């Protein structure tokens, strides 16, 4: 059973870290979750 984790904006913005964490989720080790607000914050940081 995979743990459910919330990926916050501060780990979704750096490309390398985001890619690593998405791959961890794709492998089935964790179930990744985030909200629209988290994505908005991440996109604001990118701009």
pTM recorded for the entire structure = 0.79
Look at residue 1 and give its three-state secondary structure. coil
Q: What number is the average pLDDT over the span 6-29?
A: 94
Question: What distances in angstroms separate CA 34 from CA 2, 5, 28, 39, one per listed residue?
Answer: 16, 9, 16, 7
Confidence (pLDDT) at 1: 75
Confidence (pLDDT) at 28: 95
Provide the residue range defining the domain that includes 40: 3-46
Q: Return the structure tokens found at 41.
A: 């914050």
In the chain, how many domains are there? 1
Checking if the pLDDT of 40 tops 90, the result is yes
């Amino acid at each position: 059973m995979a743990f459910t984790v919330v990926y916050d904006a501060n780990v979704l913005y750096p490309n390398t870290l985001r890619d690593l964490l998405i791959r961890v989720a794709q492998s089935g080790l964790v179930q990744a979750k985030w909200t629209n607000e988290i994505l908005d914050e991440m996109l604001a940081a990118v701009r």
